[in-house]
Structure 1
Amino acid sequence: MHRTDAVTEPVRDAPLISNRFLAALTAVIATLALLSLGISLFGKRIGEQWALADHSDSHDALDITIGIDRLRLAANTIRFEEQRQSGTSERVDLALLWPEMTGYTRENRRRFDDVSIAGTLVFLQLSQSTMSRDMSGRVEPIYAHLFEGATESGPHGLALHRFRHGTGYDDEVLLTAKRPGKPDYAVRCLLPTHDSAASSNDCQRDIHLGRDLTVLYRFSSTLLADWEKIDTAVETYVGSQIVTGPASRTPQKRANTARNNSL
């Protein structure tokens, strides 16, 4: 009897990971990579928008008419987005770096956004005049009748006048200074005590410029040492933005809902 030995074929191990699985895995990884890149780019864009907040770094010049005064203002100096358009407006609010008197840039973002840096900005509000006298012109006929007590020595060579309680200026003081050949300087302030820090706009003053423009400007009481420089800088800056010639006669005005603190 012949014995035939069976020839055994070697057993081939099946691959642990199939080519099809590898292809699918590669596709998933590629998709995730693209998604990650997209999220990164989107996040960067959103981050830039958040960083801008309500600011603009555009230097585009906007032609804005307030009453009978026409101004040309850079977009990055205007505080509120809804005001950044050419045309006729009731008022425009500006934020300028001190002492540069320039608008917002990304490089100076922290100086605009960090409220703990009190003395870095000057805020301007431009509107058509509603009173015949500016703050300096109201000292004798109005404010002087509201004072209480003797005139005191104020900060940085300024005279300090306190208001009577109930006059509407509670906790505020009026600081004044003589100016040769000019009306007395006058500014209203909420001076900080040892219990409260100065804010970025606890002093305010208004002046008349152009043909019929009132410029109300605010700054930190920490800058009172520069009161004369600030007044000159505001007058020079706004004066340089006024366009000579007749204002455009546009019948419609853009309504402005922001609060206007008249003095």
Structure 2
Amino acid sequence: MAMTHTHRASPPRRSRRAPRPRSLLWLPIAIFLAGVIGAGTWVTYLLWPRWPAAGMMLDAPALPITVSGVNFNVPPAAIRNKVQRKPGTHERVDLVFLWPSLTPPDPAVKAAPPSSPGAIDRIFLTIAGYGNTLPPLERFNTIYPRYLEPSIATTPDGLALRPFREGTPYQGEDILYDDRNPGRFMVRCTRDGAGGAIGVCLFERRIEQADVTARFPRAWLSEWQTVSQGLDTLMKSLRGMPR
């Protein structure tokens, strides 16, 4: 009798080491590439030139502005340069206010030429870091005497007046101050000149690390006490202090 042999199929042999999924091999590379792309996108965003933001409404609330680490609250309508009409840190800010109301001018109203120097109704301010300059009173006591004439006059309104000598950096100017308290009110002014040139006065006040410089017509000195009070009020308002 013939014997029939049956053969059982052998089970497939399993590999001793399972192959690593390809996704695991690409994972570190993908993370590295994502980091490089992300960093490049961020640097490009920071360095790419951007157009200025849309113009701010001039009747918006006062903007928090920092100059040389000093905080100010500035009405947008008072800022003369459009690029400065934004909150944040600035190297300097140029402002204009109406006199004697101390309010920003209406940009829709064009200023008419004044009939006389005393009729000018605007006061201009600049806020900037003081750099390496001395405070105004220290300049008055240590630097200006080298260039001043020895004579001292008194104006009809009670200010002491000393002219600068010719041939000095300040020739053609005078310094006028409250003789009882120069730190309270002191200005350096050009003189009215030929051809209708209007004398202009500079009033400076140091506020921490910033200097605030006000410019106004010399003709206003006929009411210098009112001007002094107005400047003090304006400085307080820019600092957010009650008037």
TM-score, length of structure 1 as denominator length: 0.61
1:188, 1:205 within 8 Å by CA — same for their partners in 2?
yes
What residue number does 1:240 align with? 237
Partners of 1:191 and 1:156 in 2: how far apart?
17
1:203, 1:221 within 8 Å by CA — same for their partners in 2?
yes
Judged with a 3 Å threshold, the aligned counterparts in structure 2 of structure 1 residues 113 and 213 are, in CA distance, closer, same or farther, namely farther
Q: Deviations over 1:182-227 (max 9, x none)?
A: 736321111215x34353x711121112x32211111001111222
What residue number does 2:127 align with? 126
Q: Deviations over 1:62-93 (max 9, x none)?
A: 22111111122111111111211112101101
Partners of 1:134 and 1:77 in 2: how far apart?
26
How many residues are matched?
A: 183
Q: Counterparts in 2 of 1:1-263, with a 5 A limit? A: 58-60=58-60, 61-105=62-106, 109-110=109-110, 112-114=111-113, 116=115, 118=117, 119-131=120-132, 133-179=134-180, 183=183, 185-193=185-193, 195-197=194-196, 199=198, 202-209=200-207, 211-242=208-239
Please tell me the residue identity of whatever aligns with 1:216.
T
Equivalent position SS for 2:142: coil
For residue 178 of structure 1, report the CA deviation from its aligned partner: 2.2
Any stretches of 5+ residues in structure 2 without a counterpart? Answer: 1-55
1:128, 1:214 within 8 Å by CA — same for their partners in 2?
yes
Partners of 2:70 and 2:124 in 1: how far apart?
20
For residue 232 of structure 1, report the CA deviation from its aligned partner: 2.6
Please tell me the residue identity of whatever aligns with 1:191.
R
Across the aligned residues of Structure 1 and Structure 2, the Cα RMSD in angstroms comes to 2.6
Please tell me the residue identity of whatever aligns with 1:78.
I
1:57, 1:105 within 8 Å by CA — same for their partners in 2?
no
Equivalent position SS for 1:216: strand
Radius of gyration: which is bigger?
A: 2
For residue 230 of structure 1, report the CA deviation from its aligned partner: 2.0
Judged with a 3 Å threshold, the aligned counterparts in structure 2 of structure 1 residues 77 and 113 are, in CA distance, closer, same or farther, namely farther
Task: List structure 1 runs of 4+ shifted beyond 6 angstroms.
Answer: none
Please tell me the residue identity of whatever aligns with 1:79.
R
2:147, 2:170 within 8 Å by CA — same for their partners in 1?
no
Partners of 1:142 and 1:104 in 2: how far apart?
37
For residue 132 of structure 1, report the CA deviation from its aligned partner: 6.2
For residue 243 of structure 1, report the CA deviation from its aligned partner: 5.3
Partners of 2:220 and 2:195 in 1: how far apart?
16
Q: Deviations over 1:132-160 (max 9, x none)?
A: 64323321211112112411233522121
1:70, 1:243 within 8 Å by CA — same for their partners in 2?
no
Judged with a 3 Å threshold, the aligned counterparts in structure 2 of structure 1 residues 179 and 149 are, in CA distance, closer, same or farther, namely closer
Please tell me the residue identity of whatever aligns with 1:224.
L
Judged with a 3 Å threshold, the aligned counterparts in structure 2 of structure 1 residues 189 and 137 are, in CA distance, closer, same or farther, namely same
Equivalent position SS for 1:169: coil
Identity %: 28
